Amino acid sequence: MQAYTASPGALGPGSAADHPAIVSSRTSARGDAASPDHVAPAPALREHVARAVRRYLADLDGHSDGMLHGVVLREVETPLLGEVMRHCDGNLTRAAAILGINRATLRKRLHELGLSRD
């Protein structure tokens, strides 16, 4: 499994991109350290989001339903919570700690998004 690597501050100052687990050295397919000129930098998450929003707006073709904010938040939050829960083997306390939110808030959001086990 290859860890996501972002440049420090790629997601904003003081963001998770500054976390040592995220800012890690990349390795080549052989397992040795890859030099920066051999590995293309991974696009920041915000670049992926910006590209998706531009595509979505282009597809709207000038029409708007006034729901873009909610759509984007749902589309990002659902896989975020799902992947963190999978990483934590379903442990709400660990997942909430990783996300930096209250356990009750996580439980509520999982239920609202249809991701709860209940």
Compare 7 and 49 and report the one with higher pLDDT: 49
How far apart are the C-alpha atoms of 59 and 82, rounded to whole Å? 27
pTM, 2 dp: 0.60
pLDDT digits (tens, 9 = 90+) for 13-38: 444 444 444 443 334 444 445 555 66
Q: What is the dihedral of CA 89, 49, 18, 80, to 10 degrees?
A: -10
pLDDT digits (tens, 9 = 90+) for 46-101: 899 899 999 989 998 888 878 889 988 999 999 999 999 999 999 999 999 999 99
65-118: CATH topology: Arc Repressor Mutant, subunit A (1.10.10)
Is the per-residue pLDDT at 115 higher than 90? yes
pLDDT digits (tens, 9 = 90+) for 105-114: 999 999 999 9
Residue 97 CB coordination number (10 Å): 14
Kindly list the distances between the CA atom of residue 105 and the CA atoms of 67, 74, 81, 89, in Å, as whole numbers in the listed order. Answer: 23, 15, 12, 18
**∠ CA 10-78-68, rounded to 5°:** 75
Contacting residues for 113 by C-beta, under 8 A, at least 6 apart: 74, 77, 78, 81
